[in-house]
Amino acid sequence: MTPLPALDPFTVFGVARSLDLDDRTLERRYLALSRECHPDLLRTQATADCLAVLQRSAEINDAWKVLRDPWQRARALLETASPGVLARNEKLDAAFLADALELAEEVAFAHDDAIARLRTRLATVLDADFAAVRAHVERGEFDAAAKRFHGAHYHRKALADLDKKA
How many other CB atoms are found less than 10 A from the CB of residue 11? 13
| Gap between the Cα atoms of 38 and 50, Å rounded | 10
Segment 33-62 mean pLDDT: 75
In a domain, 94, yes or no: yes
The tens digit of pLDDT for each residue in 81-137 reads 999 999 999 999 999 999 999 999 999 999 988 999 999 999 999 999 999 999 999
Same domain? 116 vs 139: yes
CATH for 15: 1.10.287.110
Is the CB of residue 14 less than 8 Å from the CB of residue 30? no
Residue 16 phi/psi, 5-degree rounding, is: -65, 150
| Gap between the Cα atoms of 107 and 90, Å rounded | 23
Residue 131 belongs to domain spanning? 85-165
Return the amino acid letter for 3.
P
Closest by CA position to 123, among listed 77, 155, 91, 161: 155
What pLDDT, on a 0 to 100 scale, did the predictor assign at position 5? 44
What total of structural domains would you count in the chain?
2
What pLDDT, on a 0 to 100 scale, did the predictor assign at position 56? 85
| Gap between the Cα atoms of 76 and 156, Å rounded | 17
Is the CB of residue 73 less than 8 Å from the CB of residue 133? no
Same domain? 33 vs 59: yes
Last residue of a domain, one of 81, 106, 121: 81
Last residue of a domain, one of 81, 114, 131: 81
Is the CB of residue 62 less than 8 Å from the CB of residue 33? no
